[in-house]
Structure 1
């Protein structure tokens, strides 16, 4: 409801109350049946207005709650962007070339598929982390909790994923070929590993 509409609505309620009050002020005198009927109609109309007002207040509370969730998500994204801005390195490291003996028969397309799976998993993971927990469904809430439990002081300020993220969020099969490609990507300084608690975390560089 716009401000002008809210003002008109408030004025209408005020007019109805004033009308009922004037009729009640006249109640010291005997009211005719027509005036009694009019009074009942005014009271019924006022009652409906009060119901509409209560409904409007409930709508505004829900909208305010929704806006609060959006504001929290916006602030979190803003903090993440500021962190990225404050931590951009002065120069980007030079990527190493993968030796032919390490690459074997793997093609560049096969390497890119794994890189894409990393990107997909990262995007899906941090989309969940950047949302308010209350807005998540049960499955996403469990993932959110798992992501938080995997964080350590070594991962602070870094985007990272684990093998389970690649399996679940990118639908990528983690097999020996995948492990071999990981070795090549690590050699090319695409990520570094942080181990702890029986989990290997892949920190993007």
Structure 2
């Protein structure tokens, strides 16, 4: 206990002596400041202090810039890692339906359609010309377009389901316009009835465009014309693949 008390007393004395030394040093500095011969030196020291202060400010700005750059690099690294994961996911889950670079077309005799329509009106059929007409198809939906479709519009409909319907729509378009480009003499009675229905469904607004109606979907495909089908048609309209043309109690789906 005696040794402990002695140690504490020595620490207290050391602390008091240090404070006394600090006070003496402050008094000496104050006295030096009043000495005119020391003022030039003090002014020089003051200028140096200002220079050091400015240098420290610049260093602080540079440190902040470096910290901001570091944060930016971290964000870039996170983005790159996220893009790499997405690319790896796409590589591992390549969809069965890939978008085509251009809208594919099927070539069929063109003038034949015009001459056959005229034959119905004049009751006389003419031979088809050698020129061709292209049947426009609906282009498949890309993954980017699918991502941009509003969630309320997609619901639980998947990317593959949409493109499956696109293929069936193209099948109906091909089936319809191949019949329109056939010779009336070569048609069976059921096909001839379809041909006349197709002609009756045309209007002045459908001139030069390709379109189908729900009856064509039922005739040439196995699709169910139900609520989900109409939801997919709504998505296709949003993606500017088809547009509606109404008249005479029919909804015509025009290929864009």
Aligned residues: 123
Give the unaligned 5+ runs of structure 2.
Answer: 1-125, 137-144
Q: How does 1:26-45 map to 2 (within 5 A)?
A: none
- Correspondence list, 1:81-92, <5 A: 81=134
Normalised TM-score (structure 2): 0.45
**Of residues 180, 202, 206 in structure 2, which corresponds to 1:155?**
206
Match of 1:136 among 187, 194, 215: 187
DSSP 3-state at the match of 2:165? helix
Considering Cα pairs closer than 8 Å and 6+ residues apart, tell me whether 1 or 2 has the greater RCO: 1
Q: How far apart, CA to CA, are the structure 1 residues paired with 2:221 and 2:131? A: 26
Cα shift readout 1:111-168 (whole Å, capped 9, x = no counterpart): 1121111100000001100001111001100000000000011110001000010011
Tell me the equivalent position of 1:146: 197
Aligned position for 2:127? 72
> In structure 2, which of residues 228, 240, 244 is the aligned counterpart of residue 189 of structure 1?
240
After the TM superposition, which residues 97-136 of structure 1 pair with which residues of structure 2 at under 5 Å, given as runs? 97-136=148-187
Q: Which runs of 4+ in 1 moved over 4 A?
A: none
Q: How much has 1:171 moved relative to structure 2?
A: 2.1
Tell me the distance in 1 between the aligned counterparts of 2:218 and 2:201: 16
Structure with bigger gyration radius: 2
SS in structure 2 at match of 1:106: coil
Query: Who is 1:176 aligned against?
Result: 227
1:72 is paired with a residue whose SS is coil
- Structure 1 residue 80: deviation in Å? 2.2
The RMSD of aligned alpha carbons is 2.3
Matches of 1:148 and 1:169, distance apart in 2: 17
Offset, 1:101: 2.3
Match of 1:22 in 2: none
C-alpha separation between the residues in 1 aligned to 2:168 and 2:154? 19
SS in 2 for 1:192: strand
Q: CA deviation at 1:79?
A: 4.9
Report the Cα distance in structure 2 between the residues aligned to 1:168 and 1:100, rounded to whole angstroms.
Answer: 32
* Distance in 1 of aligned mates of 2:197 and 2:150: 37
- Correspondence for 1:202: 253
The CA deviation at 1:107 is 0.6
TM-score (norm 1): 0.56
